[in-house]
Chain A
């Protein structure tokens, strides 16, 4: 079988597994905390976005790697 495509896309897929799980945990925990203490929702939401931004960055670095031109052998 012959498959054509970008190997970088595969790398991005692997990176997306990790940050996907991370973002899921962050949002899930935030929902749990809001359910326990609804009065903290505003503060928790901004913390959630901060956590998502930090986690997601790895995924975006993986996208960037795909655009770096590597010398072909």
Chain B
């Protein structure tokens, strides 16, 4: 940070926002910092919502049941069954459903007041979810096709055989290495950059309106613009939280579908 910025009282967000000091159980393997507490809050809220929404199901649903059924039905019909077909879709639905709702609950904490940090903005959770997706599509392929799966995945049909020396390493790279990395990075970096931009806008607004303007500096009026941009960006972050959950679940479904396809 340049010295002039530090002296002026403007505090831009840093990467340290994501690694706050420990709050509970410091020094033990169960150390909880603010990020972990936010994850626990999001998890409890998700469980409470699903419990309340599916308790005492009625044939003529109430408002809460309709909302829950709409969300669950969207994931089942528009993600699982549309991609995987009726039979496989129902089989893999629990995992895809879990991924969608877990990722969404962890993402949305990034815009909730007083939490203000997405649970997926630290690499642990996206990495674990991506590894589960990775193991799942490999398992699905082997279960359905046995060793033919590896042959299908690594040796594209209809290619003259000398080209396999070039294509097979590329297929190994793109199927088994790049997929989990991109799944992790897409979710993680969306949330990291979202948090950094939001925090930057908040810090800039506070600096312009409460530090520069009281000094009689008319550049403080830029703060009005940053506030408007901040509100718009907050709405965009809510959209991104939903979109990333959708994309994560959808890509998991697509990868499973590519693995169980007879040939491509």
Contacts and interface: CB of A to CB of B under 8 A. Distances in A.
Contacts of B254: 50
Main SS class of interface, A:
helix
Contacts, number: 38
Contacts of A60: 185-186, 188-190, 193
Interface in B15-37: 15
A70 interface: no
A67 B121 CA distance: 13
B200 interface: no
A4 B2 contact: yes
Interface residues of B, number: 19
Contacts of A61: 181-182, 185, 189
Contacts of B111: none
B192 A50 contact: no
Interface string B40-58: 0000000000000000000
B104 interface: no
B251 A50 contact: yes
Contact of B182 (A4, A46, A50, A57): A57
Interface of A: 4, 46, 49-50, 53-54, 56-57, 60-61, 63-64, 67
